[in-house]
Structure 1
Amino acid sequence: MTPDCRIAVVIPSFLVRDQILQVIAGIGQEVGWIYVVDDACPEQTGAWVRERCRDPRVVVVTHAHNQGVGGATLTGYRHAIASGADAVVKLDGDGQMDPALILRIAGPLLAGQADYAKGNRFHRLAFTRGMPWLRLAGNALLSFMTKLSSGYWQITDPTNGFTAIRRELLAELELERITRRYFFESDLLYHLNQLRAVVVDVPMQARYEGEPSSLRPLGVIGPFLRGHLHNTMRRVGYSYLLRGFSVASIELGLGALLLLAGTVFGLWQWMASSDSGVPATAGTVMLAALPVIVGVQMLLSWLNFDVAAEPRLPVHALLGDRQSSQSDNGSTEKKNAG
């Protein structure tokens, strides 16, 4: 390990024994720590790495029970907190992510420009060549849902697992509250927004060479919808009621109420008119349409505010200063007690 190493890598491993050694071999000397997390893999990937890998940077951690990609990544994060790294990169072990891009992914964090970075396979049209059409369609839908639930409106490709996070944020996040299955990346974005972390996309091109994907789109539609709805309600309630009540909060609440009231009243009058055969008066139509129009305008105004409120200033420096201060205070207390 060279003195200027500032990056740690976490590799969650499940059914990747044939690819894992090549992935590790491709990791450059800019990385000082490599944590391979065997997520109760039936192929015993962890034992395979221990027996055949001679890289002194590698630490193998094995789960007794499968916890999902999120659970394996969080285990790696907990180990990385104790390292001296500034940025912790999550790299899948199936070979679809190029280890040569590690420095590019971690670059905005090391430069102090962001707190969290993620790959974006949709930055250029050419990047999507070879990508299965089902993934293209699914990511388009998931991108919008994630923007709404996380508050990060400028990001795309939310399920991209090639990520980097500042170590200071790992120490601040409530890791035990982050979901451990396929919703992990999206749920992490919600939790990062609560810390007001700056998130950026980094252009990258995925590699598809016939590796099987363990993600079954039809099987995760329900959990993803529930997760995004839950996080949207939590984010809106916390950001616009508890933490930052403002004019936008009034626009959101009143706009939703007017839209709902106008829609219900209009449907009620339409059904009444259909049953009686008597057309509704112009005044009745306007009485239903006006709340809908005003409600939509207010919701659009709130949406504009929400997009503009996306975090812009990195927080890792402030968190690092606070953590250092707490550590110093703890040391002082121990000395005084002694």
Structure 2
Amino acid sequence: MIPVYNHEHAIGAVVQAVLAHGLPCILVDDGSSDACARVLDALAAQSPGRVMLVRHAVNQGKGGAVLTGFRHAAERGFSHALQIDADGQHNAADIPRFIDEARSNPHAAIVGFPVYDHSVPTVRKYARYLTHVWVWINTLSFAIRDSMCGFRVYPVAPVVALAKRRQLGLRMNFDPEVLVRLHWTGLRVINVATRVSYPTDGVSHFQAVRDNVLISRMHAVLFFGMLLRLPLLLGRKWLSR
């Protein structure tokens, strides 16, 4: 499952890498430009039945695209969905490792934590720790090693059920929020190291002001949600000893 927004220069290689591992591919066109839309149409036409294209008329954000992908996966009867970014930053050679973990742990979320190369901007690398610390606080655990890496495998049913119960973040706040809320429900998280490069097409849709405001608001809401669940979370920690 790949959310796509104007990554026409990188998406072809990402799709081919996914298909090379024998996986069907759901592309969610999140209101991309005409140039990107044409590339996605061509990819779907080249691999009918293997590449499924779902399209938003207007951009909804990464979270909105991922949730659309989940609904499509559920409608098609898939039990799990592997999420990978469209810009080529993730190491598709690690897909079999993620799939093997998901097969061995079908009721867990398999979540990548990045091993960066020299291409990662230093500010972005260390700024992520602001979110990491809040996630550790809001889960009262270190179970989620990196909540922002978009390379992961989810069981579909728990995510679809969660999205029906409450509104999840529709932009860059989606990836950390969904993991915290799934962790609150008792879903196990398994962390897998994976190499990350920044990005092959030079396109980033992270908007510093808007997305940082949304992420800060999300952490505040999650913090009060953690306080409401404090007895449950503490009891779970005590039982796990």
TM-score (norm 1): 0.63
Cα deviations by residue, 1:169-208 (Å, 9 ceiling, x for unpaired): 2343235521101100111012202321001211001022
Q: Does 1:231 align with 2:231?
A: no
The higher-RCO structure (CA 8 Å, 6+ apart) is 2
Distance 1:95 1:311 in 2: 38
The residue number in structure 2 matching 1:55 is 47
Distance 2:20 2:238 in 1: 38
Quick one: which of 151, 154, 161 aligns to 1:165? 154
Unmatched 5+ stretches in structure 2: none
| Contact in 1 for aligned 2:171/2:211 (Cα 8 Å) | no
| Contact in 2 for aligned 1:19/1:93 (Cα 8 Å) | yes
Kindly state the Cα deviation for residue 35 of structure 1 after the two structures are TM-superposed. Answer: 0.8
Distance 1:83 1:21 in 2: 23
Distance 1:55 1:311 in 2: 46
Q: For the structure 1 residues 151 and 75, does the alpha-carbon distance in structure 2 shift closer, same or farther, using more than 3 Å as the test?
A: farther
Identity over aligned residues, as a percent? 22
Describe how 1:78-157 pairs up with structure 2 within 5 A.
Answer: 78-112=71-105, 115-122=108-115, 127-157=116-146
TM-score (norm 2): 0.87
Q: Does 1:35 align with 2:40?
A: no
| Contact in 2 for aligned 1:152/1:199 (Cα 8 Å) | no
Distance 2:97 2:77 in 1: 20
| Contact in 2 for aligned 1:198/1:311 (Cα 8 Å) | no
Distance 1:225 1:178 in 2: 14
Deviates more, 1:173-182 or 1:93-102: 173-182
Unmatched 5+ stretches in structure 1: 1-9, 249-304, 313-338
RMSD: 2.6
The alignment of Structure 1 onto Structure 2 pairs a total of residues equal to: 237
Distance 1:85 1:233 in 2: 34
The residue number in structure 2 matching 1:205 is 195
Distance 1:311 1:129 in 2: 38
| Contact in 2 for aligned 1:196/1:311 (Cα 8 Å) | no
Kindly state the Cα deviation for residue 137 of structure 1 after the two structures are TM-superposed. Answer: 1.5
Q: For the structure 1 residues 99 and 55, does the alpha-carbon distance in structure 2 shift closer, same or farther, using more than 3 Å as the test?
A: farther
Distance 2:240 2:161 in 1: 17
Higher strand share: 2
Distance 2:117 2:106 in 1: 27
Distance 1:52 1:140 in 2: 36
Kindly state the Cα deviation for residue 118 of structure 1 after the two structures are TM-superposed. Answer: 1.3
The residue number in structure 1 matching 2:173 is 183
The residue number in structure 2 matching 1:193 is 183
Cα deviations by residue, 1:39-69 (Å, 9 ceiling, x for unpaired): 1112453442223441231111110121100
| Contact in 1 for aligned 2:139/2:180 (Cα 8 Å) | yes
